[in-house]
Amino acid sequence: MEWVETTAKTIDAAREAALDQLGVAADEAEFDVIEEPRPGLFGRVRGEARLRARVRPAQVRPKQERRRRGRSDGGAASSASESAAKPSTKSTKSANDAATADASETSDAAATVPSDKPTTQRSRRTTTTTTTSTSSKLEESTMTNDERPESTVTPEEVGTAAVAFMEGLTTAFGADADVAVEVDGIELDVTVSGSELGLLVGPGGRTLNAVQDLARVAAQRRLGDHETRLRVDVAGYRERREAALSAFARDVAGQVVASGTARSLEPMTSADRKVNHDVLNEIDGVTTRSVGEDPDRRIIVDPA
């Protein structure tokens, strides 16, 4: 996964700028601080914070491995329970025999006491053998799971899984749609075209964002760990949204340059903020920053 590098007055500001560029939430990214601001005289800060960030690779254990690990752990626990139960039964019998021997003063009772010693020894040997066998099986099972090589998942396989999920979803909605995928390295663009697909978009594209997350999770659960970036577009909504946001951002930049005053944009999703940052950062005379917390996080456009 490629890293992006950002600079700001503080570490937090640089971190937020990186999240806006990546278009993900904080728990979906990892950061590497390259340079921190240095304290100066009278409490002032010298220099800028600089860090790099990237989307955190997904870590999902394949279903087959979870089943095997569960079976091996269950078998080991069952064997351990049986081996623990055996010495308990033997000990109860020995205690009862000893109590009988103390209560009786006959010679037959005296002869019964030493006869229990071989039984106790045999019980210990049986318990030791069972425990050793259980430990060996558990160790063998653990080594097998740890040493199993991870399978390599290609972006094409992830794209196929995402297409299958979206086809099933559109069928469940009763929509007649065509689903296709374009693969560019680790970037996957899944497009859904057809009629009456508004339910899959929702107000402000919020339903579409949820569908995109579901498609990503479905591919991860089916294939296991992989490093890809999946993007789902329904009925060309994202393309139209990006065009509208780009035009709006350029208009706001012109107003900020002309007036010399900052403008605050409406709260947006991380994906929409990324579009605005990308457009505004290419325009001379303005700078951008993000403030607030999701879902009320917004962009401030300042004059340069």
Tokens 């998942």 correspond to 153
Q: φ, ψ for residue 122 (rounded to 5)?
A: -65, -35
H/E/C letters for each residue in 64-111?
A: HHHHHHHHHHHHHHHHHHHHHHHHHHHHHHHHHHHHHHHHCCCHHHHH
pTM: 0.50
Tokens 């019998």 correspond to 93
Rounded Cα distance between 47 and 6, Å, is 14
43-96: pLDDT as tens digits = 566 788 899 998 887 665 555 555 555 555 554 444 444 444 444 444 444 444
CA distances from residue 304 to 80, 137, 295 in whole angstroms, order as listed: 70, 68, 27
Question: Does residue 123 contact residue 90 with C-beta atoms inside 8 Å?
Answer: yes
- What pLDDT tens digit does each residue of the chain (304 aa) get? 688 999 988 899 899 888 888 888 888 889 999 988 887 665 566 788 899 998 887 665 555 555 555 555 554 444 444 444 444 444 444 444 544 444 444 444 333 444 444 444 444 444 444 444 444 444 444 444 344 344 588 999 999 999 999 999 999 988 889 999 999 999 999 999 998 898 999 988 889 999 999 999 999 999 988 889 999 999 999 999 999 999 999 999 999 999 999 999 999 988 899 999 999 999 999 999 999 998 899 999 999 9
Which pLDDT score is estimated for 39?
Answer: 73
103-115: pLDDT as tens digits = 444 444 333 444 4
